[in-house]
Amino acid sequence: MLDKKNLLGFTQQQLNEFFSQMGEKPYRTRQLMQWIYKRHEFDFDNMLNLSKTLRGKLKSIANINLPNVVKQNFATDGVIKWVVGLGEHNNIEMVYIPEKDRGTLCISSQVGCALACTFCSTGMQGFNRNLSTAEIISQVLIASKYLDSQNKRISNVVFMGMGEPLLNEEAVYDACDLLLDDLAFGLSRRKVTISTSGVVPAMLRMADRTNVSLAISLHAPDDKLRSELVPINEKYPINELLAACKNYLKAGDQERHILFEYVMLDRVNDSVDYANKLAKLLKGISSKVNLIPFNPFPQTNYKTSKSSAIERFQDILHNSGIRTMTRRTRGEDVDAACGQLAGKVLDKTKRNI
């Protein structure tokens, strides 16, 4: 039997091609996207402005297939975590973080992650596979459908859940197209952020392919320590990483900046010396720094930095003129904080055996 196409993974341009191959007019794309993204209607039979013949044809070759929600957890601080089942014992997670004036959805791009940063619970789970565009977009649709019913909305989407987005480039870029598309989610490019541990060649390609915001998981200002924490640094060291950041800044408008994420690990990377080194490293790069207090998980020996160390670190950066924020830990009681997303990963790398 012919595999049906899941139309959730299709960008506007790809839907235009799809309808054109069926001999349909381009306005069908607009109609279908309105049903899916504005009205959350996924059953062709209910799309009454499509002719009956077209609905029948669509049903025979395509579907709109959302994965199952295995669990929805509500933290006491308003954070919501969804566990989504992708079959073959693979689960991924996404998290909604409400704030006074906005709501951020943190989504996953892979089942697990192959990069094995030493402080990350996703990394410790190993890796199974990349998500498809449809699986990425489904996370946003599932969350926005629920949040709509609660009169809440998603204002920002960040690829900071499970996985390394720049090792799943095509699916992630297509998903970004849909996030920015007015016919789908209509977010501004500043409100969509790809976070990477530093896949330099992909960062260079990204500059030509999309213009969403870029976040870099830096975590250390020198190669020796960074290679210990973020092993991909051995392949793409800090000077190459920063050159790729500058290239991304150059490709965008003047207001563009890069967000540098820095996990605060007690007595590992939180000294005055490292703060000074970081300030020096980022000089002249349009940047913001986000300090993330380490979120512990079972099987880790790291500890969160003391608040005094975090404040001291932040002050040094501030005093060097670098905009710095400390990320408040949210959703801990349902294991939804940064780096705690573990899902369920059938590890194919066999790293844990």
| Token pair recorded at residue 135 | 């699986």
Return the ∠ at Cα 303 (arms to 298 and 307), rounded to 5°.
135
Which one of ligand SF4, ligand SAH, none is in contact with 262 (Cβ closer than 5 to 8 A by kind)?
none
Q: Is residue 339 a contact residue for ligand SAH (CB under 6 A)?
A: yes
Q: How deeply is 207 buried, as exposed, middle or buried, from its count of CB atoms within 10 A (0-12, 13-18, 19+)?
A: middle
Active-site residue flag, 135: no
The catalytically annotated residue of 24, 93, 164, 169 is: 93
CB 115 to ligand SF4: min, Å: 4
The residue among 111, 134, 115 whose CA lies nearest residue 123 is 115
Task: Between 120 and 180, name the residue whose CB sits nearer to ligand SF4.
Answer: 120
Instruction: For the segment 200-219, give every residue that binds ligand SAH (CB under 6 A).
Output: 217
Whether 170 is catalytic: no
Q: Identify the active-site residue in 117, 120, 245, 338.
A: 338
Q: Using CB under 6 A, which of the segments 116-124, 247-255, 265-273, 323-331 binds ligand SF4?
A: 116-124
3-state secondary structure 57-71: HHHHHEECCCCEEEE
Asked whether 127 and 111 are in contact (CB, 8 A), the reply is yes
Does position 93 interact with ligand SF4 (CB under 6 A)? The reply is: no
β-pairing verdict for 213-217 and 192-196: parallel
* Nearer residue to ligand SF4 within complex by CB, 11 or 91: 91
The SS3 assignment for 325 reads strand
- Tell me if 120 contacts ligand SAH by CB under 6 A: yes
Q: Which of residues 195-224 bind ligand SF4 (CB under 6 A)?
A: 197, 217
Q: Applying CB under 6 A, which of residues 116, 291, 292, 342 lies at the interface with ligand SF4?
A: 116
Q: Of ligand SAH, ligand SF4, none, which one sits near residue 294, judging by CB under 5 to 8 A according to partner kind?
A: ligand SAH
Stretch that binds ligand SF4, among 119-127, 139-147, 178-186, 306-314 (CB under 6 A): 119-127
Instruction: Give the interface segment with ligand SF4, choosing from 80-88, 110-118, 176-184, 247-255 (CB under 6 A).
Output: 110-118
The three-point CA angle 318-324-328 to 5° equals 135
164 contacts ligand SF4 (rule: CB under 6 A): yes
State yes or no: residue 168 binds ligand SAH (CB under 6 A): no
Burial of 237 (0-12, 13-18, 19+ CB in 10 A): middle
Whether 105 and 340 have beta carbons less than 8 Å apart is answered as no
Q: What is the DSSP letter of 102?
A: -
Spell out the residues 6+ positions from residue 309 whose beta carbon is closer than 8 angstroms to its own.
264, 266, 270, 271
Query: Which residue type sits at 223?
Result: D
One residue of 44, 248, 294, 313 binding ligand SAH per CB under 6 A = 294
130 part of the interface to ligand SAH, by CB under 6 A: no
At residue 343, what is the residue type?
G
Residues tagged active-site: 93, 338
| Binding-site ranges for ligand SAH (CB under 6 A) | 113, 119-120, 160, 164, 195-197, 217, 261, 263, 292, 294-295, 338-339
